[in-house]
Amino acid sequence: MEEVKLMKGNEAIAEAAIRCGCDGYFGYPITPQSEVLETLMALEPWKKTGMVVLQAESETASINMVYGGAACGKRVMTSSSSPGISLMQEGLSYIAGAELPCVVVNVTRGGPGLGTIQPSQSDYFQTVKGGGHGDYKLITLAPASVQEMSDYLCLAFDLAFKYRNPVMVLSDGLIGQMMEKVQLPDYQLRLTNEQIREKYPWATLGKQGRTKQNIITSLELVSEEMEKVNNRLQQKYREVEANEVRYETFLCDDADYLLVAFGSTARICQKSVELLREEGIKVGLFRPITLYPYPASQILKYAKQVKGMLSVEMNAGQMVEDVRLAVNGLVPVEFYGRYGGMIPTPEEIVKAAKEKLMA
């Protein structure tokens, strides 16, 4: 049954979580994403689907509750905003190391430090280049609408379990707070413990019927063995890179110039492309949806066709490094950004594109 509602991005996360069979949410309030926990508490999913919702004492505790729940083979998640996500980096490294599935939503705000509660995309590096310690990767999905907050949350759970890896939904305060129409997903049944035992034989649900104990750990003191663990992780990441790249293009086929942008900035850039096209300038928009794995080869393909690219971001220039790596010097890659909670207008992006690419 099609069910369309008007809601905030944060509310869509909460609704989608319940509907896609989430077993547990553990979180701590922080602006601009507190509506996720508030909505869940108001919806009382424990009465309907049995989903557990718990307000933890900190983001550190939240991510470690997620670790414990994920180790039981449960569909568990948390959400936070930049400073809180910083506190979760230790836990994310452990979860990646222990190869557990979970979903983390970052409704990014401006930093560094306490920064601002206004939107920003300045957690790109933290998300796709590590953040925590060790060689690990977070599969990262960047929604650009409230609808995608809902869609990508469900996709994030599927990818997390497919690869036994944490998945980050990297949005920002703009998408978290704005209201749009959303078509919510149908209700999916939560797995029973028996189904989890069958589907995820590694889950620590108690030994019951198993001769061998299950141990969830990221520890291996023998270097030769730890190298093997890392090899296995790297192999998995190569698989993710081969299979899970997602992106969107807008008027790229005949483009002479390309704007590259993700998330809410991509929405703004779409308008900039239209404005430039009205002036007869053939500009397209390339929007990476997965920030890891990054659509590098797809960007390289366009590098052979266009005269230059402009990476537009709400930060001081982070994703631009990945665009440059992808393009590998074939064409100039310029950067335009606003930060500290400032949101660029379509017009100022048009001006920047002309100055930086066409002057």
Partner 1 sequence: MQIASCLLQNHTIMTLQEIIQPANKVYGKTPLLTDTPMHYCPGCSHGVVHKLIAEVIEEMGIQDITIGIAPVGCAVFAYNYIDIDWQEAAHGRAPALATAVNRLLPDSCVFTYQGDGDLAAIGTAETIHACNRGENIAIFFINNGIYGMTGGQMAPTTIEGMVTSTSPEGRDVMLEGYPLKISNLLTILDGTCYVTRQAVHTPATVIRAKKAIRKAFENTLAKKGTSVVEFVSTCNSGWKMTPHQANQWMAEHMFKAYPLGDLKDQ
Distance of closest approach, residue 95 Cβ to partner 1, in angstroms: 10
- Count of residues interacting with partner 1 (CB under 8 A): 39
- For residues 294-308, one letter each, b for 16 or more C-beta atoms within 10 angstroms of the residue's C-beta and e for the rest, the string is bbbebbeebbeebeb
Residues numbered 159-178 forming contacts with partner 1, rule: CB under 8 A: none
Contact 314, 122 (CB under 8 A): yes
Of 93 and 150, the one with the shorter C-beta distance to partner 1 is 93
Map the footprint of partner 1 across residues 85-114, applying CB under 8 A.
Answer: 90-91, 94, 98
Identify which of residues 40 and 72 has a Cβ nearer to partner 1 in the complex.
72
CB of 296 to partner 1, least distance (A): 33
d(Cα 247, Cα 262) in Å, to the nearest integer?
9
Closer by beta carbon to partner 1, 23 or else 148: 23
Where does this chain touch partner 1 (CB under 8 A) — which range of 167-175, 205-213, 270-278, 290-298? Answer: 205-213
**How far is residue 340's CA from residue 165's CA, in Å, rounded to a whole number?**
31
Task: For residue 152, list its beta bridge partners.
Answer: none
Q: Is 192 in the site for partner 1 (CB under 8 A)?
A: no
Shortest reach from residue 197's CB to partner 1, in Å = 11
Contact flags string 14-33 toward partner 1, x per CB under 8 A: ---------xx-x-------
Q: Which is nearer to partner 1, 191 or 251 (CB)?
A: 191
Question: CB of 173 within 8 A of CB of 120?
Answer: yes
Q: Please give the DSSP secondary-structure letter assigned to residue 191.
A: P
Name which of 2 and 192 has its Cβ closer to partner 1.
192
Find residue 333's DSSP bridge partners.
309
Pairwise CA distance, residues 307 & 330, whole Å: 9
Contact between 67 and 94 (Cβ < 8 Å):
yes
Q: How far apart are CA 249 and CA 253, in angstroms?
A: 9
Min dist CB 261 to partner 1, Å, is 36
50-89 binders of partner 1 (CB under 8 A) = 52, 54, 56-58, 60-62, 64-69, 71-72, 74, 76
Which residues, listed in sequence order, are joined to residue 295 by a DSSP beta bridge? none
- State yes or no: residue 230 binds partner 1 (CB under 8 A): no
- Contact between residue 24 and residue 53 where contact means Cβ atoms under 8 Å apart: yes
Compute the distance between CA of residue 242 and CA of residue 76 in angstroms, rounded to an integer: 26
> Which segment (198-206, 261-269, 289-297, 330-338) binds partner 1 by CB under 8 A?
198-206
CB of residue 108 vs partner 1: minimum separation in angstroms? 24
In the complex, the smallest distance separating the C-beta of residue 273 from partner 1, rounded to whole angstroms, is 45
Applying CB under 8 A, which part among 203-211, 236-244, 280-288, 335-343 lies near partner 1?
Answer: 203-211
The total number of residues shown for the chain amounts to 359
Q: Which of 147, 193, 249, 298 binds partner 1 (CB under 8 A)?
A: 193
Q: Which residues pair with 287 in a beta bridge?
A: 248
Residue (90 or 256) nearer to partner 1, CB: 90
Minimum CB distance to partner 1 smaller for 61 or for 240: 61
Backbone angles phi, psi at 325, to 5 degrees: -60, -40
Q: Phi and psi of 29, rounded to 5°?
A: -65, 140
Longest dimension (CA), the chain: 71
Nearest to partner 1 of 74, 137 (CB atom): 74
Instruction: Please pick, from the candidates 6, 215, 316, 330, the single residue that binds partner 1 as defined by CB under 8 A.
Output: 215
Question: Position of tokens 């942008």?
Answer: 261
Tell the smallest beta-carbon distance from residue 41 to partner 1 (Å). Answer: 15
Closest CA to 330 of 238, 261, 248, 258: 258
Angle at which helices 223-243 and 89-97 cross, to 10°: 100
Q: Please give the residue ranges that form the binding site for partner 1 (CB under 8 A).
A: 23-24, 26, 52, 54, 56-58, 60-62, 64-69, 71-72, 74, 76, 90-91, 94, 98, 193, 204-209, 213-219
